Structure 1
Amino acid sequence: MADDNTNNEEVEITPGTPEFEKMVFKLNNEVNAENLGILNYGGNELQEIQPGVYSQPAYVDDNFNLFFVITQLIEDDWLIAFSTATIENGSDITDLSEPLPTGKGLNMLGEVSPEDANNLLQYFSTLADAKRGEWRLLE
């Protein structure tokens, strides 16, 4: 007899694995001026860098930079993705990469700074616990 819960079970995918690179964090609501502040991380504030696209630093180091990119990437879903960037003159952000799936960005950060990757995972766990978003596997 089939288990009725099979289709409803959450799949646990471990950070650091190739499978985790296909994970994205989907927000439950669109981003707007009223809820922008709840997504701030590490004392940084989200900035609208073009209409409907928000960004803020997640990790900045001399050798590796990772920025949140929040936008509608798939249909009407608002996703938190990551982008790498070049920083010139100490604070000028140039050359943001194409958005990376949330899991891929976290795995990249985990190779550079496991502690910071864990802090970011905790940030996403807090958002999920507050029902502000959830992890999804890209098909």
Structure 2
Amino acid sequence: MANDDEQVEITPGTPEFGKMVFKLTNAPTAESLPVLNYNGNELQEIEDGVFSQPAYVDDNFNLFFIITQLIGEDWIVAFSKATIENESDITDLSEPIPTGEGLNMLGEVSPEDANNLLQYFNTLADANRGEWRLLE
């Protein structure tokens, strides 16, 4: 039986990893938003308290970051699948997808990009800007 303090490693690409979310340590602010930018893209507030930016854009698969309070007071970095028309018009975003599930989906399309995103999250965790949590 596992001890509550025991760290259990959950491997990307597994169903268990699909239940992981990345929780920010603090609410996004004008000062902290640039730190969260990924791959030259900037987070945009798309509605009050909801921030988004492209994570992966391709002809057949588009994934956007969604940062919002999804679980109580916790600010979560989730993903949303996007529909893009006319090369740049975002016409639809799906319901938020848990961070791990989104990375697993991307891993099936582009393992290299999924690894780059995983490194992005690990860098944020190493800088105490967030942490991985398992959804119960």
User: Common fold, TM-score beyond 0.5?
Assistant: yes
User: CA offset at residue 105 of structure 1?
Assistant: 0.2
In structure 2, what is the equivalent of residue 103 of structure 1? 100
Alignment of 1:56 onto 2:71: no
Partner residue of 1:75 out of 72, 75, 94:
72
The alignment of Structure 1 onto Structure 2 pairs a total of residues equal to: 136
Residue matched to 1:20:
17
What displacement does 1:34 show?
Answer: 1.3
1:88 to 77, 85, 88: 85
Structure 1 unaligned residues grouped into runs of 5+: none
| SS state at 2:104 partner | helix
Shift of 1:26: 0.3
Amino acid at match of 1:74: I
Equivalent-residue separation in structure 1 for 2:98 and 2:71 (angstroms): 11
Long gaps (5+) in structure 2: none
Please say which structure displays the higher CA radius of gyration: 1
Greater alpha carbon shift after TM alignment, 68-77 vs 8-17: 8-17
RMSD after superposition: 1.2
When the two structures are superposed, what TM-score results if normalisation uses the length of structure 1?
Answer: 0.95
Deviations 1:79-118 (A, max 9, x none): 0000001000110011100000000000000000000000
Q: Following the alignment from structure 1 to structure 2, what is the Cα–Cα distance between the partners of residues 47 and 74?
A: 21
Amino acid at match of 2:16: E
Could you list the structure 1 runs, at least 4 aligned residues long, displaced by more than 6 angstroms after superposition.
none
C-alpha deviation, 1:10, in angstroms: 1.8
Normalization by structure 2: what TM-score?
Answer: 0.98
